[in-house]
Amino acid sequence: MAETADAAEQIIDESERLRANVYALLARFLARPPDQATLAEAAGWAGDDTDFGKAVSRLAKSAAGADPKTVKEEYEALFIGIGRGELLPYGSYYLTGFLNEKPLARVRQSLRELGVERDPANKDPEDHIAALLDVMVGLILGTFRGGADLAAQKQFFDDHIEPWADYFFKDLEKAKTADLFKALGSVGRAFMAIENTAFEMA
């Protein structure tokens, strides 16, 4: 074969694409306040009877009734605040009690090994939950070098997400300043459980 494999042409199984979708949706809600378009999209989702589906339905219902300005305030209260939000969605914080700790160094090391550079416009540490979820999208779709490698996904998930993400999503479900984001927490928890189980089948 003369040409090198183009990641965009790699055949990704539909069920794997669906995982990437969910990671992308979680990342979108957590990276910045969800905008009108995102809320409108979420409002259209119809969950089925699974734990995940029921959580999605709750999120859709919240999104349908949501005013983007209010959601922005909710996001800021949760994650920004004055100095800090109610929650600190960083691996270092959940794993050590402090920001910018060894878990962040380990994420950076993994990113180096993957040959991945962070968009320099983004100032947030790479162990922010949205950043980690974003990496999973890239790993699943094969946009980083090495293509769509399930073992690499499992490695990254086990090293940097699994140890703390469920605790974070649980905190989100219970957060005082959360409303719509409670439902997002539920979606996150349900999805993390699915990922854990599915990786065992890899």
Partner 1 sequence: MSKRDKDGTSNRRDFLKLAGLGTVAGGAALVSGVKPAKADGLRADGSQGYRETEHVKTYYKLARF
Binding positions for partner 1, rule: CB under 8 A: 7-8, 13, 15-22, 24-25, 27-28, 31, 41, 44-53, 56-57, 111-113, 115-119, 121-122, 124, 128, 130-131, 133-135, 137-138, 141-145, 191, 194, 197-198, 201-202
Token pair 């089948």 is found at 201
Q: Cβ(149)–Cβ(139) under 8 Å?
A: yes
To partner 1, the closest distance from the beta carbon of 82 in angstroms equals 23
To partner 1, the closest distance from the beta carbon of 77 in angstroms equals 21
Rounded distance between C-alpha atoms, residue 79 and residue 160, angstroms: 20
Rounded distance between C-alpha atoms, residue 170 and residue 99, angstroms: 19
Query: Based on CB atoms, which residue is closest to partner 1, 9 or 174?
Result: 9
Q: 84, 87, 82: which is closest to 185 by C-alpha?
A: 87
Query: Based on CB atoms, which residue is closest to partner 1, 97 or 120?
Result: 120
To partner 1, the closest distance from the beta carbon of 162 in angstroms equals 17
Query: Based on CB atoms, which residue is closest to partner 1, 56 or 66?
Result: 56
To partner 1, the closest distance from the beta carbon of 104 in angstroms equals 15
To partner 1, the closest distance from the beta carbon of 176 in angstroms equals 26
To partner 1, the closest distance from the beta carbon of 95 in angstroms equals 20
Query: Based on CB atoms, which residue is closest to partner 1, 102 or 112?
Result: 112
Instruction: Say which DSSP state 49 is in.
Output: S
Query: Based on CB atoms, which residue is closest to partner 1, 59 or 95?
Result: 59
Q: Which residues pair with 107 in a beta bridge?
A: none
Burial class of 118 by CB neighbour count within 10 A (0 to 12, 13 to 18, 19+): middle
Query: Based on CB atoms, which residue is closest to partner 1, 4 or 82?
Result: 4
Burial class of 143 by CB neighbour count within 10 A (0 to 12, 13 to 18, 19+): middle
Q: How far lies 120's CA from each of 52, 116, 124, 171, in Å?
A: 34, 12, 10, 29
